[in-house]
Structure 1
Amino acid sequence: MYQLDIANQQELLPVNESELEKVVHLLLNEEQVAAAEISLVLVDNPTLRELNIQYLNHDYDTDVLSFLLEEEQLEVLDSPRRGAGKRIEGELIISTEMAIERAPEYKWSAENEFILYLIHGILHLLGYDDLTDEERMLMREREQAVLTLCGLELPASTPNE
């Protein structure tokens, strides 16, 4: 049903792969996703910046890149969730270095900041965006809902605003 492949190409932040899988499963279940294959690559800031330039022509540091490779609506569900009934295939590339740098700003751990990036990236794969105030507000609501399922709370000031 849900498959997460993790390629850890960094040594800055220790990661618990089973915890990451748990978060991904909670999120995908909450969003009523029918099936998903997600590749997760963990890198440092220079690597993610290089990829941001290469693929999006954005010459700046970022926390997560999301690439939706394939999407199929397997069943139609009466649900406000954007992932409802979908099968998705996608790739996330996350900078653990950015999580380490930004976490103190928000007074929580680098691990929690990283989890937020993971949630944020998957929500992008499911069709959520943060380009308008309305969309950003919806993205924050969904992030908080998933963080709550994980026993976490979004800091008062959040990244990506």
Structure 2
Amino acid sequence: MSESAPSRSAAGDRTTPAEGDPAPAGDDPLSRRPATDGFAAGDTPDMQAPDTAAGPTVRLLLETADVDPPVVGWLEAMLRELAVRAGVRGGELTVLAVDDAKMSEMHEQYAGVPGTTDVLTFDLSDDVGPTPNGPAVVEGDIVVCLDEARRQADARGHAPRVEALLYALHGLLHLLGEDDHDEQAYQRMHAREDQLLQAVGLGAVFGRQGEAS
């Protein structure tokens, strides 16, 4: 769970680093500027209590069969709450849920890596993430693979939609400037994921991968 291509290119696969050319600009929002590099150690914003008057707009586009229980309706609400807790106060996130075939196509197109992956993140904002001392506005597209979520959820003993939410949260943290390019950053980013997921009552979702092996 540690792939992040060079700055302004797709940040994706949370397991294996990969290099790819920057994604070209285009009319399709998913072909525009992908996620950026991150804060220095210790610069991540403090987790905030939910504020129902703030937060980004979150849309989900489902391009494959839903999981059971469904992600539709649930993932948007959960990701918005996670975003608010992470310090996001505005903007727009679009989550595209796809199957292996579509993810494999996008993975090779944007990261230069054949085969499927779990998540790709595209930063559509004009800024390079938030400051650590103030609220953030995010604009981005996050692509999650529901086929991969099903496989990992079966192995790790939780619902596929919880696994898919982990992928979406990983993408959100990339948009907020987090990275997992090296071991220290990897551990910090995934600890942050589990901290946020525990705060919304889902437990340490990423941490379960060690328990299931």
Same fold (TM over 0.5): yes
Report the CA distance between 1:16 and its aligned residue: 3.9
Report the CA distance between 1:75 and its aligned residue: 8.0
Corresponding residue for 1:156?
A: 208
8 A Cα contact 1:72 1:87, kept in partner: no
Q: Say whether residues 1:139 and 2:189 are aligned partners.
A: yes
1:58 to 91, 110, 113: 113
8 A Cα contact 2:129 2:138, kept in partner: no
Q: Percent identity?
A: 25
8 A Cα contact 1:71 1:88, kept in partner: no
Report the CA distance between 1:8 and its aligned residue: 0.6
| In 1, Cα distance between equivalents of 2:114 and 2:156 | 25
CA separation of 1:77/1:44 partners in 2, compared to 1, >3 Å: closer, same or farther? closer
The CA RMSD measured in Å over matched residues stands at 2.1
Any runs of at least 4 consecutive aligned residues in structure 1 with deviations exceeding 4 A, and if so which? 73-77
| In 2, Cα distance between equivalents of 1:123 and 1:74 | 10
Gaps of 5+ in 2: 1-54
8 A Cα contact 1:106 1:157, kept in partner: yes
Gaps of 5+ in 1: 79-83
Report the CA distance between 1:77 and its aligned residue: 5.6
Q: Say whether residues 1:70 and 2:122 are aligned partners.
A: no
Q: Which has the higher helix share?
A: 1
8 A Cα contact 2:129 2:176, kept in partner: no
Q: Which has the higher strand share?
A: 1
Corresponding residue for 1:7?
A: 61
Provide TM-score, normalisation by structure 2.
0.65
How many equivalent pairs are there? 153
Provide TM-score, normalisation by structure 1.
0.84
